[in-house]
Structure 1
Amino acid sequence: MSPTPQQRRDARHQLSTGSSTPGPRRGPSRGSKQPITVDAIIGAAFGIVETEGYEALTMRRVATALETGSSSLYAHVVNKEDLDELLIGRLCAEITLPVPDPAAWRQQIVSICTQLRDQYLRYPGISQAAFAAAPSNLDTLRVSEGMLAVLLAGGIQPQIAAWAIDALTLYVNAYSLEFSRATRNGGAWVRSRDEMLERFAALPGTFPHTKRYAAELTAGTAHERFDFTVNLMLDGLRA
C-alpha cells in the first residue's frame, strides 16, 4: 500500500536534510535543465517570494520557474502546505541558538526572536507560512526547543514557558507580516510621523486622548516597538 501524502510529508521532515533524489522532468524542457530536487524547489520558491512576494507563491508558479510541469514537483513536495513548512524550516536553520544562561535568559530570548524576525523580513510576507498547523520540520522544532531550554534555565515554569513560546512566535510572525506589507512597494501606504501628527491634531474633540498624546502614539521606529513588545511579554513570565 502506497504511503499517504501525510506519511510522505512526515517521513521527509523527520528523516531528511531537505535534499532528495532527482526526479524526472516533464514538459518541453525535459532532460535539458537541472534535475528537480527538494533543494531546487525550495530555491525557486524563495526566489519568487523575494522578487514577487509570498502572495505570488503557488506550486504552478514554482513549476514555471523551474521550467517543468507541476506534476514533477509532487514527486518531492506533497502540496503547498508542505512547501511552506520546508521554507520556514530552511529559515529557522539559519538561527543561532545560545547555550542557555540563567543570568542572560531574557537577552537570549530577545536575540532568538530578533533573528527569526530578520529571517522572515528577507522574504516579503513569508511569515504567513508560519501561521499553519503545529510544525513537524526538525529545523523549526529546533528553534522552539532552544527557546524552551533558555526559558527553563531562566527559572520559568514549564507550562508558562510553553505558552510563552507560542505567544512570542505568533507575535514575531504577525510583526514580520505587518512590516513586510507596510514596506511593500516602497512603503506607499505608510504615513510619515509628521503626517500622522497632523491627522491626529485635526481630529474632532471626541478624541481628546488621541489628540493630547499624539506624540507618544507616533513615537519610535517599528523595530523599537518590536523590542518593547518582546520585553513586555517577558516581564510577565515570572509573575
Structure 2
Amino acid sequence: MNPRERRAARHLPPHPESGADPAPRRRKAPITVEQVVESALDVVAAEGYEALTMRRLAAALDTGPASLYAHVVNKADLDELLIGRLCAELTLPAPDPADWRDQVHGVCAQLRDRYLKFPGISRAAFAMAPTDLETLRVSEGLLAILLAGGVAPQAAAWAVDALLLYVAAYCLERSIARQRSAQDDTAWVLDREELLGRLTALPAESFPHTTRHAAELTAGEGHDRFDFTVILMLDGLARR
C-alpha cells in the first residue's frame, strides 16, 4: 500500500471486526505515523510551527526525508494529521438545546488551548479541506450542538466554519505576538501602556474617537477578546 492509499485508509471509519490480522507481519520500518506526528508536535512545541519542515522532522527522527514519505504524502498531509491529533483530545458534550451557546464556546476554548500549546500550529488548519476523522468529529459535534439550539442548517454549517476559522486566526495572532515579545527589540510594540500613550497622543481633531476611547481600544486581559468575539457570533446566531 503506497502513502496515498494509506492516507485514504486513515479517512475511513474503523471496522473492528476486520481489524484482526491472523498473521501479523513484522514491521520493516521502525518509524510509525504516530511517531511522525509526536515528533512533529515536539518540534513545534520547542521551535514553533515555522521551523517544522520535512527535513527538520526527519532529523528529529534520526532518518532521511525520503523515509517520511513512506508514512505521509507531503507536508499538507502532515498538517492534517497534526490538526487531527489535537482535535482527538477535545471533549464534545451531548447537545443540550438549553445550553448550546456555552457548549459551543467551551469546545472553541478547548481547541484554542490546544493550539496555543504549539506555537503557530493553527496555521496548518487554514485552507485545509478536512477529511481526517477526528477533525470531522469536531465539526460534526459543533454542528449537532448548533442544530439542537435551533440554528438553521445553512447558518449552522457556515457558523462551524466561521468559528473554527476565528479560533485558528486568534491563536495564530497570539503565537506571532508571543514570538515578537520574546525579542527584546520589539517587545515594546506589544506593551499596552505604550499603545495607549501613542493613541492618546494623536491629534484629537483628526482622531476624535480614537483618542477619546483609547482605553477601550486597548482594554482586555487574557482571552477577554476571544470570549467577546465567540459570544458575539453565537448571539448573532441566536437572533437569527
Same fold (TM over 0.5): yes
Matched, 1:13 2:11: yes
Matched, 1:110 2:105: yes
* From 111, 126, 135, the counterpart of 2:130: 135
The amino acid across from 2:220 in the alignment is: G
> SS in structure 1 opposite 2:89?
coil
Q: Partners in 1 of 2:165 and 2:14 — Cα distance?
A: 27
Instruction: Please tell me whether the aligned partners of residues 22 and 37 of structure 1 are also in contact (alpha carbons under 8 angstroms).
Output: no
Matched, 1:126 2:121: yes
Instruction: Please tell me whether the aligned partners of residues 23 and 72 of structure 1 are also in contact (alpha carbons under 8 angstroms).
Output: no
Instruction: Please tell me whether the aligned partners of residues 14 and 136 of structure 1 are also in contact (alpha carbons under 8 angstroms).
Output: no
The amino acid across from 1:99 in the alignment is: A
Instruction: Please tell me whether the aligned partners of residues 85 and 134 of structure 2 are also in contact (alpha carbons under 8 angstroms).
Output: yes
Matched, 1:146 2:144: no
> SS in structure 1 opposite 2:223?
helix
Instruction: Please tell me whether the aligned partners of residues 83 and 135 of structure 2 are also in contact (alpha carbons under 8 angstroms).
Output: yes
TM-score normalized with structure 1 length? 0.88
- Share of identical aligned residues, percent? 63
Instruction: Please tell me whether the aligned partners of residues 38 and 76 of structure 1 are also in contact (alpha carbons under 8 angstroms).
Output: yes
Specify every segment of 5 or more residues in structure 1 that has no aligned partner in the other structure, as ranges.
25-34
The amino acid across from 1:67 in the alignment is: D
Distance change in 2, residues 1:159/1:81 (3 Å): same
* From 83, 91, 100, the counterpart of 2:95: 100
Instruction: Please tell me whether the aligned partners of residues 87 and 135 of structure 2 are also in contact (alpha carbons under 8 angstroms).
Output: yes
Matched, 1:162 2:157: yes
Question: What is the CA deviation profile of residues 89-142 of structure 1, one whole-angstrom value per residue up to 9, with x for unaligned ones?
Answer: 000000000011010000000000000000000000000000132111000000
Pairwise CA distance, 1:75: 0.8
Q: Name the structure 2 match of 1:236.
A: 236
Specify every segment of 5 or more residues in structure 2 that has no aligned partner in the other structure, as ranges.
16-25
The amino acid across from 2:198 in the alignment is: R
Aligned-CA RMSD value? 1.8
Distance change in 2, residues 1:202/1:104 (3 Å): same
Aligned pairs for 1:160-199 within 5 A: 160-184=155-179, 186-188=181-183, 189=187, 190-199=189-198
The amino acid across from 1:145 in the alignment is: E
Q: Partners in 2 of 1:82 and 1:15 — Cα distance?
A: 18
Q: Name the structure 2 match of 1:62.
A: 57
> SS in structure 1 opposite 2:96?
coil
> SS in structure 2 opposite 1:237?
helix
Q: Partners in 2 of 1:154 and 1:7 — Cα distance?
A: 39
